[in-house]
Amino acid sequence: MKGLPSLLASFSLPGALFSHYRRHPLQLLALAVMIVLATMLWTGVNHLTSQARASLNQSEQAVAERQQVVRDDGQMLAVDDFVALRLVGVCVMPWLEVTPETGNRLVGIDPLAAYCFGSRNRPSPALDQPLNGKPFLDMGVATAIKSRDSRLYLLTPDTTQTADLPGGYQLTSFSTSPDTGELGDSFLLNLEALGILVLLITALLLRSVYLLGLVQRRDSFALLHRFGVSPDRVQRWLVFEILALALMCVVPGVGLGRWLAAGLGGGFGQALDGLFDIPLYAGQGQGWAMPVLVMLAVVVIACLGDLLLLRFRERLSLILPKTVYSGLAALLLVAGLAMAWLAPSLPWVFIAVALVFAGAGWLAPYAVARIARWCAGRSTKPLALWRYRELAVLARRLTLPLVALQFALAMVLAVQALVTTFEDTFDRWLGQRLEAAYYIEVPAGADGRQAAEWLTRQQTNTPGLQWHRVMRGQAQVTGTDNANNPQVDVFAVAPVGALIRSWSLLEAADQHWEALDSGSGVMINEQLARRQNLSVGNNLKLRLGNQQRVMPIQGIYPDYGRPVGEILLSAETLPDSFNVRFESFSVTPGKPGIAQMTDALQGIWQVEALSMRDNGTIRELATSVFDQTFALTRAMTLLTLILAAAALLMMGWVFFSTRAWYFRLLVAWGMSQRQVAGQLLRLALLLTGGIAVLALPLGIWLTWVLVHRINPLAFGWTLPMAVYPAFWFELGMLSLAVGLSIAALMRRQLGRPAVAPVSASALTGGER
């Protein structure tokens, strides 16, 4: 008979363990919904960023150097040119840009013609995709579109040399928009960081809900142990239980995440193509296995971390008193702050962020409890004393959901500040780069001096005409500490007029534009200044062509989205030996309009048509798609915040419910139901408002890390640091709304009967 209880426990153990969720079905539903939503959110972000990253890499493989074939006589390319080049064995791909009468730019390509772009007799993976919609179309479809403007380009791999071309042709660069490749990488890095924070917040939320269930099941575990079931066996079944639940929830969550990414991919893909010339190709991204395994690991570690490290925690608690934990958390926080300030590379910055979050999350509930006890000690009113003491209990018992809400608030605050700053900065930078109304390329073999002389004569008789000539090439910085003197891009303009004097500078000397115009100085971009540790007033040693020059630095300008160093100087100072790789004119035509000007330039250069871009259209498109893309980021952060707030709402309600018997003692002491509800309202608002206040410095610090540490180390340039107090107020209102919701639910709970526990510590609410 002694073995009967053990035998019965053996057959009924799974049912006995699962009986908890039969008694608390809403808790099981909340846990499942939280896993599904968290998986959907993280999978959606991860799928979009992996698609974008793959598209970025494949686009670079397809037209890495953006190199094209042009005619020596400056005439427009035609199909006959494509045929002639292919017949002599030159690898070229037709790229037909058409602009419909209504709609955005479309590109017609021929994937078969791009077969030679690949390696080992395989086509480029970027072009081995079905052409099923915008912006890429089949060449035959593109030629049939009625358009107001069309232009044929013949692209060639970067391995092609001018010597490989027949007579009458040469190579030149190919560009369809401002160079924003690094800006795209920075944007994707921010989205990937968001995905990692989503995982962290998800783990905290899942852990908080699951631990609540474990606390409520302690009596059941003790009863099973009396019937002969060992703790190890219970732990094995708990592992199986959470794995089964995770599998049932993670798989549909991944499917919903991919559906979310597909729904948002249209606007995201348009943004990538319009801003960064990165088409979001269909069918890319990671498969199902990796997201499922990652989320399974997150769920198991979050829920069962205590079980896996139980013995270690018990031994640690015997060695270290509780007062040491707060000191250890403070040490982590200080070490993380110092490391973030001094870190020489990105990995160390990421470690520093992890340390700061660990220390801040560890200290936040402890700080709320300490402040509450301090206020209780200074309070003379009995109700205020009770309220602060109760707040200290809540802060300790709701540690995990409070920390999750703190992290979510800090993340949303930082991402909102970063996105808004990113948006404003990009708009200003794009406005500087596209200050002129039109951008006109100088045809291959044409003389830009003739056009410059004609524009100079026209400027006196044409109201509103503004222009400058742009000459691009490369120079070498000499006399540096580096073993190899770095190559830098040269951006030479003449005249240095109003179109460029409106640029905002990070640092500048007195009369800097005048010095630049006279050729007595240069300006450099932020990337070059950081890499070479240069500042205004330093002399820059340059090799331009075959000449060695020493020129003082007159200013440092921001240059977002470019990975290389650049110098800005007057084109009048370039020696004849300087190799001009690209030449163009930036023109605002004034009252006569652009048509008269293009006709005159075609006559000067003896060409049939000009390669011209409407900068206003480019800026409008870029701004609109950037707004759409940032709407995606804000939606992701808002969904994460809602998830954290819902978890705190559920946990707060459950915990308040376990203490309902205790709160009814206030009625027994003479308070009305209305007065008790008022006290609970103040208590809930103190709890959520306090955690919002603690999230504020963490969010501001995270913003500083993103703009002043991660971006400079990753890309060589910084964003301006900006804070938005109006958004702080919005987050504070959201936190108070969570507190109001908890208080409203608790007011309903007070009207229901409740039985006091046998002992003060038998349930979660037993502490007083």
**Mean pLDDT confidence for 500-508:** 88
Helix ranges, 88-162 (H): 139-143
Residue with the larger pLDDT of the pair 192 and 572: 572
Residue 107 has pLDDT above 60, yes or no: yes
Helix, strand, coil percent content, the chain, rounded in steps of 5: 60, 15, 25
Chain centroid, CA 192 distance in Å: 6
pLDDT digits (tens, 9 = 90+) for 290-344: 778 888 887 777 776 655 544 445 455 555 565 676 788 889 899 999 999 988 8
d(CA 649, CA 646): 5
Q: Which pair of tokens denotes residue 688?
A: 């959520």
Range with the poorest average pLDDT among 182-186, 714-718, 730-734: 182-186
Helical pair 399-433 and 615-658, crossing angle rounded to 10 deg = 170
d(CA 400, CA 362): 9
Q: Which pair of tokens denotes residue 421?
A: 């700053």
pLDDT > 90: percent of the chain: 7
DSSP class of 129:
S
Q: In this predicted structure, what is the pLDDT of residue 644? A: 65
Highest mean pLDDT of the ranges 257-271, 496-510, 557-571, 700-714? 496-510
Cα 283 to Cα 11, 42, 615: the distances in Å are 48, 19, 33
Cα 281 to Cα 157, 190, 574: the distances in Å are 20, 21, 43
pLDDT digits (tens, 9 = 90+) for 9-33: 444 677 777 777 787 777 787 778 7
d(CA 303, CA 28): 13
Residue 126 has pLDDT above 70, yes or no: no
Q: Which pair of tokens denotes residue 349?
A: 């910055």
Residue 199 has pLDDT above 50, yes or no: yes
Radius of gyration of the chain (CA): 33
Element (H or E) spanning 138, and its range?
A: strand 136-138
Name the phi and psi angles at 142, rounded to 5: -65, -40
Name the pLDDT band for 631 (thresholds 50, 70, 90).
low
d(CA 240, CA 751): 39
Q: In this predicted structure, what is the pLDDT of residue 130? A: 45
